[in-house]
């Protein structure tokens, strides 16, 4: 990945609907060259998807929360399939320290939040599960 690939990713991160011709003008490449690079980035799984980001005026209410999980023993390979099977988990990171995993979820209701929590409670070797609902987005 070179400076042009990074520039393409940076521009698409800001606006995934940016026309290839505009990307080319901004980084100094032809539309065809941008299209070829973009296809390569997709083929190599550098870019997996193009999404939208809902604004505050969106009619759908989203409930967000973080789950802190501690296991004994902590064996990430035993958890991967279970964690990836829960579609509501948007991000999940393994940590060092007192907490082994931190998962971020987005659901449409508190009832769905509780359903996800119930799924997480079934994970093997789970010792502690703390739910931290998001009250307000700061940044």
- Cβ proximity of 53 and 106 under 8 Å: no
The angle subtended at Cα 19 by Cα 13 and Cα 22, nearest 5°, is 95
pLDDT category, 90, cuts 50, 70, 90?
very high
Q: For residue 133, give the nearest of 62, 58, 54, 52 by alpha carbon.
A: 62
Q: Which fold has domain 63-133?
A: Alpha-Beta Plaits (3.30.70)
| Mean pLDDT value of segment 84-91 | 93
pLDDT given at position 61:
66
Model confidence at 58: pLDDT above 80: no
Q: Can you tell me the distance from the alpha carbon of 22 to that of 122, in angstroms, rounded to the nearest whole number? A: 49
Q: Taking the model in full, what pTM does it have? A: 0.60
pLDDT given at position 60:
62
Q: For residue 67, give the nearest of 137, 111, 136, 126 by alpha carbon.
A: 126
Domain ranges of the chain: 3-43, 63-133
pLDDT category, 32, cuts 50, 70, 90?
very high
Token pair in block for residue 82: 């279970």
Question: Domain spanning 3-43: which CATH class is it, in words?
Answer: mainly alpha
Higher pLDDT, 61 or 33: 33
């Amino acid at each position: 990945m070179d400076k042009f690939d990074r520039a393409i990713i940076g521009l698409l991160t800001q606006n995934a609907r940016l026309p290839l011709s505009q990307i080319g003008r901004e980084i100094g490449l032809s539309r065809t060259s941008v299209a070829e690079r973009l296809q390569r980035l997709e083929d190599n799984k550098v870019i997996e998807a193009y999404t939208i980001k809902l604004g505050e005026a969106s009619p759908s209410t989203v409930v967000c929360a973080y789950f802190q999980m501690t296991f004994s023993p902590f064996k990430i390979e035993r958890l991967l399939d279970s964690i990836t099977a829960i579609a509501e988990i948007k991000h999940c990171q393994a940590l060092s320290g007192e907490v082994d995993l931190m998962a971020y979820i987005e659901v449409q209701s508190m009832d769905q939040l509780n359903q996800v929590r119930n799924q997480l409670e079934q994970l093997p070797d789970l010792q502690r599960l703390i739910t931290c609902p998001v009250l307000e987005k700061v940044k």
